[in-house]
Amino acid sequence: MVVPRGELDVSTCQVLAEHATAPPGSLVVFDLSRLTFIDSSGLGAIHTARQHAIKAGGTVVVTRPSAMVHRVFELTGLDIWITDWDPDWSGDAPMEPVS
C-alpha cells in the first residue's frame, strides 16, 4: 500500500516511484486520501507504476482520492482507474513517501 501525503508533483513523484515497486504478481494499492494535489508528473508516476505492475502480472488500484484529486483524474479520463475502498486493504502497512 502506498499512501502519499500532501502534493504529488514533479518534485515528489520520484519518491513515489521508488516506493511503488512490488514483487511480480502483487497488488499495489494507491490510497490517495491524504493527497491534496496532483499534477501531470504525479499522474505519470502512477501510470508508470501501473504499467510495470501489469507487465509483471500484478495489479494497481487507485482509491479514495480527495475531491480535488478526483477532479484531476476525471479531467484526464483516468478516473476509470479509481476503485472503491476494500476493507481488506487496511491490514497492509502503508508507506508514505510523499510529504
pLDDT tens profile 5-16: 999 999 998 888
Is 32 in a helix, a strand, or coil?
Answer: coil
Continuous H helices in the chain: 13-19, 40-55, 67-76
> 31: which strand partners?
63
Does the pLDDT of residue 97 top 80, yes or no?
no
How confident is the model over 74-95, as a mean pLDDT? 82
pLDDT of residue 90: 74
User: What amino acid is encoded at 50 in this protein?
Assistant: R
Q: Using CA atoms, how far apart are residues 21 and 66, in angstroms rounded to an integer?
A: 23
Q: Tens digit of pLDDT for each residue in 47-70?
A: 999 999 999 999 899 999 999 999
Walk me through the domains of the chain, giving residue ranges and CATH numbers. 6-84 (3.30.750.24)
pLDDT of residue 20: 81
Does the pLDDT of residue 23 top 70, yes or no?
yes
**Global confidence as pTM:** 0.84
pLDDT of residue 99: 45
